[in-house]
Amino acid sequence: MENETTNLFRRRDTFFGICEAVGQDFGFNPLWLRLAFIAPLFFFPVQTFMAYFALGLVVLASRLIFPAKSAAPAQPALNAVEAEAPKAEKAEELALAA
């Protein structure tokens, strides 16, 4: 997926990607965090923006201090013949066992 490899700051569907990054780090849907910022935004807009950008600084610091480990290179996909070969061998073994 493109969303997994794209830098959060460069994506078009996020506002600096702060809620998305926190959601990825802690394993929850970032929509819940975005919704938590809506109500305070109406009553305390300055403090809400300050809290949002402070959370962004925490995310930035955590990403710089503890960078994500790169994934192992993907193994090439098996074609149809290679995928069916072990099944055929197993079927022959079962036939011989009977």
Report pLDDT digits (tens) over 40-80.
Answer: 999 999 999 999 999 999 988 888 888 877 655 555 555 55
Where in the sequence is the domain holding 60, given as residue range(s)? 2-69
Domain assignment of residue 77, yes or no: no
Report if residue 65 sits inside a domain.
Answer: yes
Contact 21, 55 (CB under 8 A): no
Task: Please state, in angstroms and rounded to a whole number, the distance separating the CA atoms of residues 60 and 53.
Answer: 10
In a domain, 40, yes or no: yes
Tokens of 41: 């935004």
Whole-model pTM: value is 0.55
